[in-house]
Chain A
Amino acid sequence: MIIQVEKPVLEVHDLTVSYHQKPVLWGVDFSLPGGVMAGIMGPNGSGKSTLLKSIMGLLSLSGGRISVFSKNLDEVRKKVSYVPQKESVDWDFPATVKDVVMMGRYGHLGLLRRPGKIDQEIVEEALEQVNMQDLRNRQLGQLSGGQQQRVFLARALAQQADLYLMDEPFVGVDAATEQILVELLNGLKQKGKTLIVVHHNLQTAPDYFDWLVLLNQRLVASAPFEQAFTAALLQETYGGRLNMLSTLAQHMKKEQFAAREHR
């Protein structure tokens, strides 16, 4: 069940990604319409984070290509915001909540320019939206898991992007905070922004998403939520790996095969 769309915000063509010659994503090919909140779901190790990182150009691709807003990512970076997994950074870093949110403005400022009054206002606004304005001078290490996630979201808001890629934004977050975050994301969707969210809770998924990408080493489905969220497709996604793909990947790593011919 792979539904391609007209005028996509994101196009992924025949994407193959390997870690140390071992393919982790295989021939992924889909497109996403604008103005949706899309969930990327699949079991552990199915390549969800890898897909996000490939879209952001953080990994080198073995094959395929990606375009965002019909352009190369480098031309539209300012319109794209990436929220890494919370665990990927050291929260003991000497910075306050506001410092981190201000980082969202750095992409717009360039190397040498200092944040100006407008940037300050944008940051304040982002802090208010995630309800963290009272904690703006709090040190990162003193935040709870949910607050850390809100800081990351505020930083993304301060980027004022049109496409948001979020890696597990609801992990380590209490139910109340998750509700706040979801409402915020819905607000962004209402404004016509596109959100792509790596998620792993099948229970809450129907309440959040209007598009679903199912992944397990390969693309199982990419379609409007109701069409993709079927017992058969979920069984195919979560019912274990394709033995053949795993064996082949293992063999390629051991024998140092490249997934595509060198040209």
Chain B
Amino acid sequence: MLNSDAIWIIFTGFLVASSCGLLGSFLVLRRMAMVGDAISHAVLPGIVIGYLVTGSREPWVMVPAAGLLGILTSSIIEVLHQKAGVQSDASIGVTFTFLFAIGVILISMFAGQVDLDQECVLYGEIAYLPLNPLVLANGWSLGPKMVWILMPLLLLISLGIYLFYTPLSLTAFDPAFALSIGIKVGFWHQVLMGAVSFTTVASFDSVGAILVVAFLVVIPSTAWLLSQRLPLMLGLCLLLAFIISVTGYLAASWLNVSISGAMACSSGVLFVLAFLFSPLEGRVWLAFKKKSQQIGSI
């Protein structure tokens, strides 16, 4: 029942989910989850402008164009919060809606030329992925083009986290201490924002903004509920990514519904399970332990 298209879709889902999960871990630990949401929406004008300028919808155009806009987004949020004294949450809300609105207006102004709409950004459909394969000159198909962007991206992110584990973890846990031993906290913040932007864009071209948010936030949160150490949490993100992409795909093809949506739902189900049954602090588990202790004490 798993034909080659299915394998490619699951594999792409896994690539996106693990890249987002790894980076999202640092976002969630820094309490910046909603910045990920903002970036995933605010890159729309970048995509439109990139398309209008180059006339191409190839990933190599879209990813850098939108990536730049992602960095711009996080900078505007910073400026509004630091310089203009707007609450941090509000500055996120003001920024991404403004940029998204500009994107939508651009799309309708050039409606004849742009094959994009806001629904496609929101929903994105991983199912169409195999329709855009990378074909070599001799006719061999190497699978969906996006895979050839997402795979190096995942490797790069993993390598980056491995090499720079110290500053990334330290600036997330205790920025004041990090500064005191001479780590450039501001610099690492920008690096993380840049990485999130590129990943978001590369991902949502294939899966849609909402799935990106689900992967950025739900996967790390679930992993956090299940682990006591950051390296384990990062590893769990990879495992969760695998489970989510497989179960999501299977559920979607069984019910004949959106694959992206099913994958995000599957992550939601895993979160609820972890919330209730995590051996560390799941609510049901805690209640059960309490009860058995009471019984034991009688």
Spell out A's residues near B (CB within 8 Å).
53, 56-58, 74, 77, 80-82, 84, 88-90, 93-96, 99-100, 103, 106-107, 109, 111-112, 139, 141, 155, 159
Contacts and interface: CB of A to CB of B under 8 A. Distances in A.
Contacts of A159: 181
B29 A93 contact: yes
A251 to B, nearest CB: 19
Nearest to B236: A94
A53 B166 contact: no
B170 A103 contact: yes
B182 interface: yes
Interface in B255-298: 280-281
A84 B229 contact: no
B148 interface: no
Interface string B212-227: 0000000000001001
Given A57-B179, A80-B180, A111-B166, 15 more contacts: A77-B181, A82-B176, A84-B177, A90-B173, A93-B173, A94-B29, A94-B227, A94-B228, A95-B228, A95-B230, A103-B170, A106-B166, A111-B167, A139-B280, A155-B177
Interface string B160-199: 0001101101101110110111110000000000000000
B31 to A, nearest CB: 8
Contacts of B230: 93-95, 99
B142 interface: no
B232 interface: yes
Interface of B: 29, 31, 163-164, 166-167, 169-170, 172-174, 176-177, 179-183, 224, 227-230, 232-233, 280-281
Contacts of B176: 53, 56, 58, 82, 84, 88
A58 B179 contact: yes
A82 B180 contact: yes
B41 to A, nearest CB: 27
Contact of B174 (A84, A94, A111): A84
A82 B169 CA distance: 18
Given A89-B173, A109-B166, A111-B166, A94 B179 contact: no
B164 A111 contact: yes
B181 A106 contact: yes
Interface SS of B by simple majority:
helix
Contacts of A81: 180
Contact of B173 (A58, A77, A95, A96): A95
A56 B179 contact: yes
A159 B183 CA distance: 15
30 contacts: A57-B179, A58-B176, A58-B180, A77-B181, A77-B182, A82-B176, A82-B177, A84-B177, A84-B180, A89-B174, A90-B29, A90-B31, A90-B173, A93-B29, A94-B227, A94-B233, A95-B169, A95-B173, A95-B228, A96-B229, A99-B229, A103-B174, A106-B166, A106-B170, A106-B181, A111-B166, A112-B163, A139-B280, A141-B281, A159-B181
A89 B233 CA distance: 19
A58 B173 CA distance: 16
B19 to A, nearest CB: 19
Contacts of A56: 176, 179-180
List the 10 closest pairs (A to B, CB-CB), nearest first: A107-B181, A82-B180, A139-B228, A84-B176, A56-B180, A89-B174, A94-B233, A94-B230, A93-B173, A77-B182
A90 B171 CA distance: 12
A80 B180 CA distance: 8
B172 to A, nearest CB: 7
Contacts of A84: 174, 176-177, 180
Contacts of B229: 94-96, 99, 139
A99 B170 CA distance: 10
Contacts of B181: 77, 106-107, 159
Scoring B167, B228, B230 by chain A CB atoms within 10 A of each residue's CB, the highest score goes to B228
Contact of B228 (A96, A106, A112): A96
A75 B169 CA distance: 24
A112 to B, nearest CB: 6
A58 B185 CA distance: 11
Given A109-B166, A111-B166, A88 B228 contact: no
Contact of B182 (A53, A74, A96, A141): A74
Nearest to A84: B176
Contacts of B281: 141
Contacts of A99: 229-230
Contacts of A88: 174, 176
A94 B29 CA distance: 9
A107 B181 CA distance: 5
Nearest to B179: A58
B228 A103 contact: no
B233 A107 contact: no
A103 B168 CA distance: 12
